[in-house]
């Protein structure tokens, strides 16, 4: 039974003539640069962050007539092509976050003053929430979606080399190695992402944009091979219930439906892991004698002090829960390191279920990504033998690159050992994938983790932590095996719309 269901687990599906998985930001920036150079009518960018000083080619391999700093590059394009409509819609970040980014993207506005580029900061979210979508659409013909922003601390290669001077930032410090994944699509799927971006622009500015005319030539980068052809691509979203609009929880429903439908392997790559309903859905599958393996790859320690205080502590509780549920030894949680032992920041948001479903987007496995922040992701359900091979190859490539091995090596080890965990244990000889150990929490840490401070599920509990805890764990109890035993429809998504009903006591949204 298909997992992707428009109106429930996704917004809509649309055909892509080509789709490609871009592993790490070097691949994304290279592809984006080539596609942007070919833009003729429209460029639309949605981002959580944006820094015009970002170098798309830190090793200097650009055309002689174009700069590699993205802000100067876009200005050059705008001057050369007066008919090219360039619009950047970036979240108006809160002061503490902005300060950590040298007050970008706020300072980016000055870069585009007195130019044809329309740069806007979007604060049309509830207090405490953020616009977290990362989408780039070019001529409605090629589009990118995933976990990566265009910022000065994002670039890295799949090698995640120690001491790579190409990770140099404007202050001449080098940022930590970082793992990101984006997905690129063309055709009607790209136009659908254009529709999403234009609707965001309308909500933020009140201006309605018409779709651009089809380009004479596709801006698809010639050097990027298609991993999928003639595939139906689903777009799934999260939007908070706010400003008179109903909440959208397609990503959360898709996560739960995919977990419940998996047969052999659940592979999760994510920055955060804090959502009790997701964890209980996984625990229910781990409790089955013939359930799937579950492999989680995340960051060893969050890079920011606030996330270490909140998200890392909540993750510890989730890991303890899955360890207790893992009676058959099918759960592993790892963090990756470089060859020299430096921790790699895992910022990607990828999940692969069996060799059937691949998802790449902006949503974390956190409470807020399920109903409080604005998120977007792409998903593809394999419909042909070739597509199944491509989905499996993505997972194997991701796992392998963390250990310094090819995807083919992982595929062979899986076949020899009978599963993904056996393959990792066979190939992880250098110990570059290390087990994530749950933290021993202080009394204060236990309070933070138990009440999910800093990680609201939606607007109904954003300022009411007692309500949050009650609702999260009442949802999680739906996945108790004794409850599932008496539910005929337990293979379907279990979480209904939790938006407060009219008259229910809840916070008044700001604005």
Ordered by where they begin, the domains of the chain are 17-231 (3.30.870.10), 238-484 (3.30.870.10)
Phi-psi region of 239 (alpha: psi -120 to 50; beta: other; left: phi over 0): beta
User: How confident is residue 442, by pLDDT bands cut at 50, 70 and 90?
Assistant: confident
pTM (two decimals): 0.92
Of 163-167, 354-358, 448-452, 486-490, the one with minimum mean pLDDT is: 486-490
CA angle 142, 148, 149 (to 5 degrees): 95
> Distance (Å, rounded) from C-alpha 127 to C-alpha 236?
23
> Distance (Å, rounded) from C-alpha 265 to C-alpha 288?
13
Q: What is the DSSP string of 4-72?
A: --BTTTBSEEEEEEEEEEEESHHHHHHHHHHHHHT-SSEEEEEES-B-TT-BS-TT--S-TTS-SBHHH
Angle between helices 276-286 and 311-325 (to 10 degrees): 20
- 4 pLDDT more than 90: yes
> Do 234 and 381 touch, CB atoms closer than 8 A?
yes
> Distance (Å, rounded) from C-alpha 367 to C-alpha 241?
14
> Distance (Å, rounded) from C-alpha 87 to C-alpha 116?
9
* pLDDT, average across residues 370-377: 97
**83-120 pLDDT per residue, tens:** 999 999 999 987 777 777 777 788 889 999 999 999 99
* pLDDT, average across residues 181-186: 98
DSSP code for 214 = P
**231-270 pLDDT per residue, tens:** 999 999 999 999 999 999 999 999 999 999 999 999 999 9
> Do 238 and 363 touch, CB atoms closer than 8 A?
yes
């Amino acid at each position: 039974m298909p997992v992707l269901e428009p109106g429930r687990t996704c917004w809509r599906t649309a055909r892509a003539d080509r789709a490609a998985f871009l592993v790490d930001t070097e691949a994304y920036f290279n592809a984006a640069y080539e596609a942007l150079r070919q833009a003729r009518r429209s460029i639309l960018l949605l981002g959580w962050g944006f820094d015009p000083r970002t170098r798309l080619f830190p090793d200097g391999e650009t055309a002689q007539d174009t700069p590699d700093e993205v802000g100067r590059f876009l200005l050059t394009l705008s001057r050369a092509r007066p008919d090219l409509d360039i619009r950047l819609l970036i979240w108006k970040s809160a002061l503490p976050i902005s300060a950590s980014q040298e007050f970008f993207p706020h300072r980016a506005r000055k870069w585009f003053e007195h130019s044809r580029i329309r740069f806007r900061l979007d604060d049309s979210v509830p207090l405490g929430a953020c616009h977290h979508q990362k989408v780039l659409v070019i001529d409605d013909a090629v589009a990118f979606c995933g976990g990566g922003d265009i910022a000065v601390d994002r670039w890295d290669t799949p090698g995640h080399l120690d001491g790579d001077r190409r990770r140099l930032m404007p202050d001449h410090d080098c940022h930590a190695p970082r793992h990101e994944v984006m997905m690129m699509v063309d055709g009607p799927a790209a136009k659908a992402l254009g529709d999403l971006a234009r609707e965001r622009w309308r909500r933020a500015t009140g201006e309605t944009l018409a779709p651009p005319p089809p380009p004479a030539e596709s801006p698809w980068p010639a050097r990027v091979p298609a991993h999928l052809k003639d595939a139906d691509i689903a777009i799934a979203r999260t939007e908070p219930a706010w400003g008179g609009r109903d909440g959208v929880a397609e990503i959360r429903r898709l996560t739960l439906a995919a977990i419940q439908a998996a047969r052999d392997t659940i592979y999760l790559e994510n920055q955060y892991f804090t959502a009790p309903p997701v964890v209980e859905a996984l625990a229910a599958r781990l409790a089955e004698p013939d359930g799937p393996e579950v492999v989680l790859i995340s960051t060893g320690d969050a890079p920011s002090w606030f996330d270490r205080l909140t998200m890392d502590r909540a993750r510890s509780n989730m890991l303890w829960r899955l360890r207790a549920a893992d009676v058959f030894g099918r759960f592993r949680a790892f963090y990756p390191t470089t060859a020299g032992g430096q921790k790699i920041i895992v910022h990607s948001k990828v999940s692969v279920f069996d060799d059937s479903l691949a998802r790449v987007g902006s949503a974390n496995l956190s409470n807020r990504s399920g109903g409080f922040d604005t998120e977007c992701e792409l998903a593809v359900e394999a419909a042909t033998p070739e597509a199944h091979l491509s989905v499996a190859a993505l997972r194997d490539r991701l796992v392998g690159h963390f250990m310094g091995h090819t995807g083919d090596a992982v595929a062979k080890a899986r076949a020899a050992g009978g599963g993904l965990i056996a393959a990792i244990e066979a190939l992880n000889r250098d110990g570059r994938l290390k087990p994530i150990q749950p933290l021993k929490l202080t009394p204060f840490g236990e309070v933070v983790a138990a009440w999910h401070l800093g990680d609201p599920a939606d607007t109904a509990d954003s300022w009411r932590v007692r309500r949050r805890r009650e609702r999260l764990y009442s949802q999680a109890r739906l996945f108790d095996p004794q409850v599932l035993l008496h539910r005929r429809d337990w293979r379907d998504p279990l979480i209904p719309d939790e938006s407060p009903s009219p008259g229910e006591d809840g916070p008044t949204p700001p604005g």
